């Protein structure tokens, strides 16, 4: 019955305004053709300029998302005032236009956000699989958010009470977030690693493991964990959140390693040798082809005279740097042995006294006689 009541005024209006409807539809078709032609011209101009990067490419990706159904809804809305249709027809056109605008704006927003993110990450070097996974997750999250907002806008224009819906979505989001807190933490940590680049695949890093500092080469950055091949050869798998929650040393990109090698010699070392030690160390470092920084007497220890010895090795490879450190240390050891300079080690001298306080030898003056059993 209600359909009939709605149909009769519409049919009467259509019969009495055939010419106006035909003219309006022709104008609407012309508007659609014009807007579609403008879209094609814009895309062709962008392609002809060859600016397939930067903001121009992002703009082109947004224009490509302009849909034909949106242009049709827009053109009908533009000619609605000329037709003066019945109220029910006007409400239908306005509703369709609202739905088309909400969905089209959501499509534009999605294309804009993803285009900017893609442009910002296009220069990032890393594991292609990790980048593809990260972009897939970002694409899903952006799509869900923008189209959820579009649905809420549509329902609000229909007169629905969206306050409860928004509150329900908020509570549901909080519940899901609490239930999957670890997963989302590792996910966003992975995105932070991929985009912020504190380290990349193939770089050497050091982090604090359960048994002490761990140095290794990054093998793969996943959405939940990062795989690191340690110098001992084993594969370490650590959660992205746990990895970013601590201080990480990245050795890649550095130009040199500076080492401080403490040296201690005995107190009986001759004064001339003590004065010569800094110059001897400098000459030895220069002979090996490394850069001498400084060396000098630092302190008098309980069992040693301590020197600071600092030098630099020009390399970005941690393994090569530690091999050079060993080379320098062995060369200094050989040099000191040749010069008769002895390294110190903790020692104690005991003095034995008689009851009257005079010092006595802790062993008898006469050497013990060794008795040999006769051979049978």
In a domain, 93, yes or no: yes
> 292 near 285, Cβ under 8 Å?
yes
CA distance 178 to 175: 5
Based on the domain organization, do 22 and 168 belong to the same domain? Answer: yes
Which parts of 123-201 are beta strand (E)?
A: none
CA distance 341 to 281: 13
Based on the domain organization, do 209 and 313 belong to the same domain? Answer: no
Hunting for tokens 């530690």 — which residue is that? Answer: 322
CATH number of the domain residue 325 falls in: 3.30.70.100
Closest CA to 193 of 236, 223, 155: 223
Q: Across-strand partners of 235?
A: 229
Based on the domain organization, do 136 and 200 belong to the same domain? Answer: no
Based on the domain organization, do 36 and 155 belong to the same domain? Answer: yes
Q: If DSSP codes are grouped into helix, strand and coil, which group holds residue 263?
A: strand
Based on the domain organization, do 24 and 168 belong to the same domain? Answer: yes
Backbone angles phi and psi of 374, in degrees to 5:
-65, 145
Q: Give ∠ CA 63-68-70 in degrees, rounded to 5.
A: 85
In a domain, 245, yes or no: yes
In a domain, 133, yes or no: yes
For the chain, list residues with pLDDT below 50.
1-3, 5, 376
Based on the domain organization, do 100 and 156 belong to the same domain? Answer: yes
**DSSP letter assigned to residue 121:** H
Q: Across-strand partners of 360?
A: 352
In a domain, 271, yes or no: yes
In a domain, 365, yes or no: no
Based on the domain organization, do 272 and 166 belong to the same domain? Answer: no
Q: Which of 140, 171, 188 delimits the end of a domain?
A: 188
Hunting for tokens 């996943």 — which residue is that? Answer: 222
Based on the domain organization, do 107 and 20 belong to the same domain? Answer: yes
Based on the domain organization, do 280 and 317 belong to the same domain? Answer: yes
State how far the alpha carbon of 1 is from the alpha carbons of 6, 88, 192, in Å: 9, 15, 61
Q: Which of 143, 158, 188 delimits the end of a domain?
A: 188
Closest CA to 157 of 117, 98, 101, 197: 98
In this predicted structure, what is the pLDDT of residue 204?
83
CB contact set of 271 (below 8 Å; sequence gap of 6+): none
**Domains in the chain, number:** 3
pTM, full prediction: 0.50
CATH number of the domain residue 238 falls in: 2.30.30.60
In a domain, 372, yes or no: no
Query: Quick one: how far is CA 263 from the chain centroid?
Result: 40
In a domain, 89, yes or no: yes
Based on the domain organization, do 127 and 241 belong to the same domain? Answer: no
In this predicted structure, what is the pLDDT of residue 2?
46
CA distance 24 to 318: 76
Q: If DSSP codes are grouped into helix, strand and coil, which group holds residue 104?
A: helix
The Cβ of residue 351 has, within 10 Å, a number of other Cβ atoms equal to 7
Based on the domain organization, do 279 and 176 belong to the same domain? Answer: no
**DSSP letter assigned to residue 233:** S
In a domain, 3, yes or no: no
Buried b (16+ CB within 10 A) or exposed e, 111-146: bbbbbebeeebeeeebbeebbebbbeebeeebeeeb
In this predicted structure, what is the pLDDT of residue 365?
59
**DSSP code string of 302-370:** SS-EEEEEEEEE--S-HHHHHHHHHHHHHHHHHHHHHHTPPBP-------EE-TTS-EE-SS-SSPPPP
Which parts of the chain are beta strand (E)?
A: 204-209, 212-221, 225-230, 235-239, 249-250, 257-260, 263-265, 291-300, 305-313, 352-353, 359-360
Containing domain of residue 276, as a range? 257-339
CA distance 143 to 150: 11
Based on the domain organization, do 265 and 124 belong to the same domain? Answer: no
In this predicted structure, what is the pLDDT of residue 327?
93
In this predicted structure, what is the pLDDT of residue 282?
92
Q: Which of 149, 165, 188 delimits the end of a domain?
A: 188
């Amino acid at each position: 019955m209600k359909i009939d009541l709605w149909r009769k005024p519409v049919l009467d209006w259509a019969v009495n305004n055939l010419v106006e409807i035909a003219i309006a539809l022709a104008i609407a078709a012309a508007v659609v053709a014009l807007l579609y032609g403008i879209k094609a011209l814009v895309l062709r101009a962008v392609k002809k300029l060859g600016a397939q990067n930067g903001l121009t490419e992002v703009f082109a990706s947004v224009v490509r998302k302009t849909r034909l159904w949106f242009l049709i809804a827009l053109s009908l809305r533009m000619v609605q005032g000329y037709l003066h249709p019945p109220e029910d027809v006007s409400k239908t056109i306005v509703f369709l236009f609202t739905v088309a605008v909400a969905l089209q704006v959501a499509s534009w927003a999605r294309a804009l956000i993803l285009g900017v993110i893609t442009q910002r990450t296009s220069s990032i070097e890393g594991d292609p699989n990790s980048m593809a996974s990260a972009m897939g997750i970002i694409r899903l999250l952006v799509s869900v958010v923008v189209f959820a907002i579009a649905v809420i806008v549509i329902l609000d224009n229909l007169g629905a009470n969206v306050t409860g819906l928004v509150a329900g979505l908020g509570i549901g989001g909080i519940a899901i977030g609490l239930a999957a807190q670890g997963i989302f933490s590792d996910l966003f940590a992975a995105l932070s690693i991929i985009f912020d680049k504190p380290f990349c695949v193939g770089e050497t890093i050091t982090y604090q493991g359960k048994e002490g500092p761990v140095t290794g080469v990054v093998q793969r950055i996943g959405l939940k964990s990062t795989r690191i091949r340690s110098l001992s050869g084993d594969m370490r798998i650590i959660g992205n959140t746990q990895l970013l929650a601590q201080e990480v040393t990245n050795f890649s990109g550095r130009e040199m390693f500076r080492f401080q090698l403490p040296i201690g010699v005995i107190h009986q070392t001759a004064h001339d040798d003590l004065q010569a030690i800094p110059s001897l160390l400098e000459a030895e470092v220069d002979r090996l082809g490394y850069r001498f920084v400084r060396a000098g007497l630092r302190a008098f220890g309980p069992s040693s005279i301590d020197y600071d010895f600092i030098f630099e090795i020009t390399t970005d490879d941690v393994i090569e740097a530690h091999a050079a450190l060993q080379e320098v240390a062995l060369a200094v050891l050989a040099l000191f042995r040749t010069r008769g300079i002895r390294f110190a080690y903790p020692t104690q001298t005991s003095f034995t006294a008689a009851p009257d306080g005079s010092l006595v030898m802790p062993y008898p003056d006469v050497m013990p006689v060794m008795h040999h059993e006769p051979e049978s």
